[in-house]
Amino acid sequence: MDKDPFKEYIKQSEPNKRDKGYVWHTAIGLQAVDGLKTSKYLIDTAIKNIEGDISIDEAQELLNTYYEENPKADTEDRTEEADKVAVRIAKILSEKAFSFTPNEYISIHKKLFAGIYGHAGKLRDYNITKKEWVLNGATVLYGSASELRATLDYDFAEEKKFSYKNLSMEEIIHHLAIFISRLWQIHVFGEGNTRTTAVFFIKYLRTLGFDVTNDIFAENAWYFRNALVRANYNDLKNGVHETTEYLELFLRNLLLDEKNELHNRSMHISGKFKETDFESAKVDIENAEEDIESQKADIRNKLLAFSDMISEKTINHTFELFSKCGKEEYFGRTIVEDITGLKSTRASELIKLLVDSKVIVSVTGHGKGKYRFQL
């Protein structure tokens, strides 16, 4: 988030403006976990709320009216979703009410995504995989659809009976990292798990006496997600072990105001991004990974906006195709078959779906039936 105006409010001594600046800064920053960006209109509206000109409810109403009157204001990067979820996060973080229960967790998802996802507040009924940049294209093993509620209830019950008494801060942070990484790993929802988990976690930390009114979540949302991924992935034959070390660095910055460097490249399982001799190369790596994930998020959002019945397997086939062809290369049905392993009929169906959902467009000058990604 370049030149974020909310940073100045966080530094203020006036508690009301400082707290509002924090919730808006966090709410907007968290959209980065799905590669989304908010609009200038939202930022202007948020500042009015911070300055006391309008309430959070009035800010939400203004935003809803804005998109009703400007239906084309939502560009292909899903700005409307980012804006609406951001204002909802700000509202939830502004509220004092909270209960440490699975129903609260599910309720937060519903509040954030109602009218955006058809499955808002509903547990997924299908198994999922997600290719991760930080895992070199591999996936975390997420919770089984048939066991989601039981697993969720168990994790909450275990945390509720856990005692933090007489623990050092190192031990507290380690335990919190394990708890939140396990909660996230269940991945009870089809979409929106990380944003829901982050909001719930912030509310929970407050009940434990932590202030968490800094910019760590806002500035490092993508790092937070990748740290959750690394806390839930093993590839023992290649010497990769699940670890909460990265998540703990994040939490130490969040809870203890430490200044540990948080770089996504340091978590990549290949290790090839850990060391580099040139600062410009570091910047290129960071920007490249964020761009790729943003494009993948765009693909996923377009598909789910077209139909919330699209399977995770179809989304993964689309990611495979995008990973091989990118935005510039054109392709036809045969290439789709080769990359995805689909038979002719299914490959044609996938192409039709991607055209209808505006993920790909047809191109001319290269023969009949050629397409490229439109991002």
User: Above 80 in pLDDT, residue 2?
Assistant: no
Residue 165 lies in a domain: yes
Task: Note the pLDDT of residue 4.
Answer: 67
Residue 281 lies in a domain: no
Higher-confidence position of 375 and 48: 48
Residue 279 lies in a domain: no
Residue 321 lies in a domain: yes
- Per-residue pLDDT reduced to its tens digit, 129-162: 988 989 999 999 999 999 999 999 999 999 999 9
Integer Cα distance of 287 and 291 in angstroms: 6
Residue 174 lies in a domain: yes
Query: Could you give the number of structural domains in the chain?
Result: 3
At 374, the pLDDT band (50, 70, 90 cuts) reads confident
Residue 334 sits in a domain whose CATH number is: 1.10.10.10
Integer Cα distance of 366 and 218 in angstroms: 44
Residues 178 and 110 in one domain: yes
Final residue belonging to a domain, choices 95, 129, 149: 95
Residues 116 and 185 in one domain: yes
Integer Cα distance of 373 and 265 in angstroms: 26
- pTM flag (> 0.75): no
- Per-residue pLDDT reduced to its tens digit, 177-227: 999 999 999 999 999 999 999 999 999 999 999 988 888 999 999 999 999
User: Above 90 in pLDDT, residue 274?
Assistant: no
At 297, the pLDDT band (50, 70, 90 cuts) reads confident
Both tokens of 327, joined, read 């935005």
- Per-residue pLDDT reduced to its tens digit, 55-78: 999 999 999 999 999 876 555 568
- When pLDDT is averaged across residues 5-10 and rounded to a whole number, the result is 80
Residue 280 lies in a domain: no
User: Above 50 in pLDDT, residue 1?
Assistant: no
Residues 144 and 228 in one domain: yes
Final residue belonging to a domain, choices 61, 95, 129: 95
Domain around 65: 1-95
Task: Note the pLDDT of residue 129.
Answer: 92
Residues 5 and 83 in one domain: yes
User: Above 60 in pLDDT, residue 280?
Assistant: no
Higher-confidence position of 261 and 276: 261
- Per-residue pLDDT reduced to its tens digit, 307-319: 877 888 899 889 8
Residues 52 and 18 in one domain: yes
User: What does the mean pLDDT of the chain come to?
Assistant: 89
Span of 126-130, 304-308, 344-348 with lowest mean pLDDT: 304-308
User: Above 70 in pLDDT, residue 86?
Assistant: yes
